[in-house]
Amino acid sequence: GKDTRQTIQHTNHLAMHGPSPKNFEVKPLESQEYGTFYSGDSYVLLHTKQTRTGKLEWNIHFWLGKNTSQDEKGTAAIKAVALDNTLGGTPVQHREVQSHESQMFLSYFKKKGVRMNVVSNSIGNLNGLNPLHVSALWPYPNVFSDEHSNSRDHEKFFEELGSGSPDDVKDAEEEAEDTDHERAVEREITLHKIWEEDGEVNIEKIAERPLKQENLESGNCFMLDGGVSGLFVWVGKEASPKERQESMTMAEKYLETRGYPSWTSVTRIIDGGEPPMFKQYFSSWHEPEDQVGLGRVYKAEEIAATGDEEFDINSLHREKRRLLAKSLGKACGFMPDDGSGQIEIWRIENFELTPVDSSIYGFFFGGDSYVLKYTYEKEGREMYIIYFWQGLNSSQDEKAASAILAVQMDNDLAGKAVQVRVVQGSEPQHFLRIFKGKMVVFMGGHASGFRNIHDHDTYDVDGTRMFQIKGTSDVDTRAQQVSEKAASLNSDDVFVVETPSVTYVWIGKESSEDELNMARNVAELVSPGRELVEIAEEEEPDEFWNSIGGKDEYQKSRGLPAKPLLEPRLFKCSEVRGKFRVKEMCNFTQEDLSVDDVMVLDAGEEVYVWIGNGASEEEKTNSLKLAEDYIRCDPTDRTLDNTVIITVKQGEEPAGFKLIFDEWDPAFFENFKTYNDIRQEFHP
């Protein structure tokens, strides 16, 4: 059973061998054998990695060849558990099946480049799903099998193969059953409890999305059906020995019951050692106190690159971290400069760009969309960022126009700009800094005759308006108009309430002195020339409540965020025959940025779209849509309205993008050839 090889590469391997079920042993492999697997065997692989926080992280994979025996399969699983126990029960275990290995497993063998299976010379082994599958067997190095090949080229190929013709090659649709399963199965995300009762182990569905950490109990085991990402078995610290032992077996039975492919990924996770790929399914997750931050793990150099010590979250007092989490702004890793560059602003009007008067830069309307061109200098070179800001009540046509016009503006700049999609209420920290604490977002649309703060479409006829004040310093403060009612209040914030006779500054119990000072400054913007009356929460006069429609319930405090802390992830996204495909590049490096593709770098609150020089025009045109589709299918509770999308081109990557990679070589792409470059060499 050792006639079929699969070539990949690396880490610590152990192979399962034995003449009889009672005599199985673990045999360590020499490093030169790493990446070569026999289909008649099973293997255990241990991968050790240091995380961004400096901790060691272990992943144990047991690989099952398609011709391995049941005894060897069982032994591999048992040895994986034994290795897990040796390392204190903290590693994550992964079940791998030949030809359906996880992207994480394959990422350990990148230096060998191509995954290769030895198959028989038969027309039945050819398919149209992957052109490289055909090219790998092509006996003539100077002919590539693509749309430029002629009939004689094909004749030579099939003569060498021994039989067949191009008409005999299976269509990609016929051979795409496995990958179609992965893409098409829009299964619900569900959580199942595994528990022992009267000596029997049972399983029962207990929850659907949105999942919360509280759904997990240390006294039992649980199985999470993660849809296209496979199954996760969570083992509670206080689970019974039988629950621990049979939890993986229950998961495999679940695969059979649900009719899922036998190769579906199954990952075993220990209570307290949950990796980000598991936590992403939970809308709430209480991280250790010293890790509560800004939505993702930041490296020290990323923090330093912002030029602001406040971003060193772990060194801050709990109260300061809470203020940052609720008021700092999005995309904190994207900080190309201090916001002191030159800004030009246009509003979308009749699907065209209408210049905004510079005297009202910083005033935005929720019923409109805008395009902003930001110019700054770095290392003696002029750099550009094009923001397109979309109001929550702007029409879909206006939003679409803002994206299209941003691309056109970028083209006018020879493609040198970084494009950033911004949704009202989720503005990036850099965007806020451009306006130096003088940003105001009004409800409704802009009036054609706008001249002052009280001259626009949404000025209330009763003369009452309410503004929520957010910010962490005088450079990122902003005010947003909200409905003038008690339900809009929040104990965490300060509000400015303008009435026909008086302007109040309402001070929430959980707000800070800094926020109050900022509210005083903003009040001059939204309600100029008025004497301010400051009132503390729970000390309001009747006149205040009457001005906003009466006293009612409102949110008392947000507290610290209870969201899972996730690390950056890289994906290759494409749309083939109308079907959206996502492939994760685990343990990614700069080398994983494919120059012929569009890549998505998920950094948490900001999602980067990287466009390679060799990407097709269709991919370039649809790059924003690819990012939006990615966010829609993402298992986290992130939405399009609270995620910043940043589009960058190969060779024009901003510092915040580069720093997400452990190492970045500015000369890496200089001699890189795209597919079209190579094709031109053979078909000039």
* CATH number of the CATH domain containing 205: 3.40.20.10
Q: What is the pLDDT of residues 571-621, one digit of tens each?
A: 988 766 667 777 889 889 999 998 988 999 998 889 999 999 988 888 888
Residues 543 and 614 in one domain: no
Assess contact for 137 and 127: CB atoms under 8 A: no
Residue 336 forms part of a structural domain: no
Query: What ranges in 396-553 are assigned the alpha helix state H?
Result: 396-412, 429-434, 513-526, 542-547
Q: Which of 244, 269, 285 is the last residue of a domain?
A: 285
CA distance linking residue 438 with residue 362, whole number of Å: 6
Q: Which residues, listed in sequence order, are joined to residue 191 by a DSSP beta bridge? A: 207, 224
Residues 597 and 472 in one domain: no
Q: Which residues, listed in sequence order, are joined to residue 57 by a DSSP beta bridge? A: 49
pLDDT of res. 611 = 94
Residue 64 forms part of a structural domain: no
Residues 260 and 206 in one domain: yes
CA distance linking residue 161 with residue 132, whole number of Å: 16
Burial string for 110-131 (b: 16+ CB within 10 Å, else e) reads beeeeeeeeeeeeeeebbbbee
H or E element, residue 629:
helix 623-633
What does R_g of the chain's alpha carbons equal in angstroms?
Answer: 29
Q: What is the pLDDT of residues 413-454, one digit of tens each?
A: 999 999 999 999 999 999 999 999 889 999 988 654 444 555
Nearest C-alpha neighbor of 435 from the set 514, 374, 376: 374
Residue 607 forms part of a structural domain: yes
Residues 614 and 526 in one domain: no
Here the tokens at position 492 are 């965490």
Residues 207 and 271 in one domain: yes
Residue 470 forms part of a structural domain: yes
CA distance linking residue 593 with residue 610, whole number of Å: 8
- Residues 646, 651, 652: CA angle, nearest 5 degrees: 40
* CB neighbour class for 198 (10 Å; exposed up to 12, middle 13-18, buried from 19): exposed
Here the tokens at position 283 are 């809308």
Here the tokens at position 451 are 């001249």
Residue 644 forms part of a structural domain: yes
H or E element, residue 97:
strand 92-97
Amino acid letter for position 266: V
Q: Which of 238, 259, 285 is the last residue of a domain?
A: 285
**pTM score, two decimals?**
0.80
Residues 381 and 504 in one domain: yes
pLDDT of res. 206 = 95
Here the tokens at position 53 are 């926080």
Residues (pLDDT < 50) of the chain are 1-10, 18-22, 129-143, 145, 174-186, 290-292, 307, 309-311, 313-314, 448-451, 456-457, 459
Strand ranges in 313-459 using DSSP code E only, listed in sequence order: 342-349, 352-355, 363-365, 369-378, 381-390, 417-423, 439-442
Query: Which residues does 214 contact at the CB level (< 8 Å), separation at least 6?
Result: 284
- Total length of the chain: 684
Here the tokens at position 247 are 């939890």
- Residues 38, 42, 45: CA angle, nearest 5 degrees: 100
Assess contact for 240 and 259: CB atoms under 8 A: no
Sign of CA dihedral 171, 65, 583, 211: positive
Residue 472 forms part of a structural domain: yes
Residues 351 and 484 in one domain: yes
Residue 277 forms part of a structural domain: yes
Residues 593 and 665 in one domain: yes
Helix (H, G, I), strand (E, B) or coil at 128: coil
Residues 353 and 453 in one domain: yes
How many other C-beta atoms are found inside a 10 Å radius of the C-beta of residue 672?
Answer: 16
Residues 401 and 543 in one domain: yes
Q: Which residues, listed in sequence order, are joined to residue 506 by a DSSP beta bridge? A: 495, 535
Helix (H, G, I), strand (E, B) or coil at 378: strand
- Residues 256, 262, 265: CA angle, nearest 5 degrees: 110
| Domain count across the chain | 3
CA distance linking residue 190 with residue 173, whole number of Å: 30
Residues 586 and 507 in one domain: no
Q: In Å, how far are 481, 498, 505, 535, 642 from 530, measured between CA atoms?
A: 18, 9, 11, 15, 34
Residue 93 forms part of a structural domain: no
Residues 495 and 388 in one domain: yes
Q: Which of 265, 285, 305 is the last residue of a domain?
A: 285
Residue 490 domain boundaries = 342-547
